[in-house]
Amino acid sequence: MPHATDQHITFQVYDATGQAQHVLLSVDERTAHGTLSISPIPGGASQSRELAALQKSHDGTILKCKVGIATVTFTIDATPSPPTLALVARALFPLLETTYTLSREDQQRLVAWSAALRLDVMA
């Protein structure tokens, strides 16, 4: 049976103020492109970004991609309690640096999902 190339995961993150955000991450493994959609909870306008040139770390704790001219790195850290998801966007200089928290269960699911993706591994 052929491996499906479209992979999706949903999870919740919390910003520094404790505001919950619903996240949908979709990846086409064949093209290494994807979409990141974030929606505030409860309700509100969803924001979506197209992701290109997706790569991952061996252990699934880091995803790297291009969004427009920026290189974006998502780093999942299980060490703190609660776990964190750091997002850093850079062009020639940092454009955005933010850290979200997420549940231990979502952190574990996200790392397992990322590690299983059939994407190039970062050097």
Tell me the domain boundaries of the chain: 6-121
Confidence label for 3 from pLDDT (cuts 50, 70 and 90): low
Confidence label for 30 from pLDDT (cuts 50, 70 and 90): very high
Give the tens place of pLDDT for each residue, 64-121.
Answer: 999 999 999 999 999 999 999 999 999 988 899 999 999 999 999 999 999 999 999 9
Which CATH architecture describes the domain 6-121?
A: Beta Barrel (2.40)
Segment 28-57 mean pLDDT: 95
Q: Give the per-residue pLDDT at 43.
A: 81
On whether the pTM is more than 0.85, the answer is yes
95, containing H or E segment: strand 94-101
58 beta partners = none
Through-space distance between the first and last CA atoms of the chain, rounded to whole angstroms:
30
Angle, CA 32 vertex, CA 115 and CA 64 arms, to 5°: 60
- The b-or-e profile of 48-62 (16+ CB within 10 A means b, else e) is eeebeebbbbeebbb
Cα-to-chain-centroid distance, residue 106: 12
φ and ψ at residue 110, rounded to 5 degrees:
-65, -45
Give the tens place of pLDDT for each residue, 5-25.
Answer: 899 999 999 999 999 999 999
The one-character DSSP state at 69 is T
Q: Which two tokens stand for residue 76?
A: 């999942």
